[in-house]
Structure 1
């Protein structure tokens, strides 16, 4: 297991910006290579605080609130992952970015995959962390989690998100990243997640891709990572032995190092 070292948070600015039809909450920190951080299904733009603290100089890290998340304002209408991918492209427009690297975790990794399919010219590279190419590959465990109340979901962090070795340090922190949503917001996001299926389109994702996955992830089984590596033409896989679902937090230091290497940023 990697050692865990606390680092001072980088300077960040929190704001909102008009992107397409949405008012999007985002955090824009650092300068250099633009890296958009795409949060998981039950989190928001604040999910990446631990990872940000390890990214170091030379990276402009931008995290944002998807629909029904954080401070983003959107209409109470159903949407798909394709819509969320288009939202991401609209955010790039609003920020004046022609292209960016995308790092998505869990549900956010699905959003990033759809963005690479729908807007390949906007995606410089992909970093897919603890995610899946298909909801069907993780339906049982994810459905169990989604059916829980917010409080029960927080209590389940120990089983689903962090390793036994990391629970003392990361269990509370991981639980705090689980956002509170009203029933309508949750239902719309859960329905979007259930529609995720791109196994037959993985070969069309040509962007350079780094896949990072824990071998003991119950919510996004490791088999999905192996399939993505096999079918995506420019993908490489880094495994975290025994890692569970919250690896961007528990293993932030090695993942940040791999990100810097992948983006060819000078070592911190």
Structure 2
């Protein structure tokens, strides 16, 4: 979840059955940025600014997000994982690295499980292998109205020091959706459960997690590191759920190192 600098409006392309909104900037190693549950394609402005040269950063709108047009029918996180591969096909990419935050990290996990040959690596930021691990806190937020969610987001997402430094930027990244769109996304999130499948993730995996995340408990990050065969956990002491925004400079550096991109 990011706020500055401003992103361009982006374009659309046909990917499978969807008309997908996306932003495609830079050249080099392809890195697909998968936004969280309440964001859209513009959510990675700050992280993108820190990624530097040598990376082709692609962000896109998931179903019921931004300017993507999708059928008004239920879907699963597996379907959203398939959508990632449809996007790669539409862009002419045989494979790509995936970076997902929160809900987007869950999407990335499902993409890696369902299409291992298309996923070069995973960077999982502030995410979880199971909705059940943070169900009480997540349900509390999901049941808030859009206005109440904006008012509550800082305390859940940003450290007190971060609130003083970045102000209301976290709340500004939240996207308003109609009740049907919210219901479909929330239903998909509640079905997320892959703890017993983590050992099947073949992609090299970097896990980035705040130790004080109130929505995706740190224990989930530890579990992912233990069970994903080629995984590394980098912790942000005291970090909450919006580490991808509050600590974008640090995460971008780690991502560059993980992807083997040295010149900036």
- TM-score bin (small chain): over 0.9
Per the TM alignment, residue 157 of structure 1 is displaced from its structure 2 partner at its CA by 1.7
Residue 116 of structure 1 aligns with which residue? Answer: 112
CA RMSD of aligned residues (A): 1.3
Per the TM alignment, residue 266 of structure 1 is displaced from its structure 2 partner at its CA by 1.4
Matched residues in 1 for 2:8 and 2:154: separation?
29
Residue 239 of structure 1 aligns with which residue? Answer: 235
Aligned-partner SS, 1:43: coil
| Offset from partner CA, 1:130-167 (integer Å, 9 cap, x none) | 00000000100000000001111111122111000010
Q: Where does 1:210-229 land on structure 2 (aligned, <5 Å)?
A: 210-229=206-225
Matched residues in 2 for 1:17 and 1:56: separation?
25
Q: Where does 1:26-175 land on structure 2 (aligned, <5 Å)?
A: 26-175=22-171
TM-score by length of 1: 0.95
| Contact map agreement 1:10 1:30 (CA 8 A) in 2 | no
Aligned-partner SS, 1:93: helix
Per the TM alignment, residue 222 of structure 1 is displaced from its structure 2 partner at its CA by 0.2
Aligned-partner SS, 1:25: strand
Structure 2: segments with no counterpart, 5+ residues: none
Aligned-partner SS, 2:224: helix
Matched residues in 1 for 2:230 and 2:102: separation?
20
Aligned-partner SS, 2:13: strand
Structure 1: segments with no counterpart, 5+ residues: 1-7
Per the TM alignment, residue 12 of structure 1 is displaced from its structure 2 partner at its CA by 5.9
Q: Where does 1:11-22 land on structure 2 (aligned, <5 Å)?
A: 14-22=10-18
Q: 2:226 aligned to 209, 225, 230, which one?
A: 230
TM-score by length of 2: 0.97
Aligned positions, number: 261
Residue 245 of structure 2 aligns with which residue? Answer: 249
Per the TM alignment, residue 169 of structure 1 is displaced from its structure 2 partner at its CA by 2.8
Matched residues in 1 for 2:163 and 2:107: separation?
28
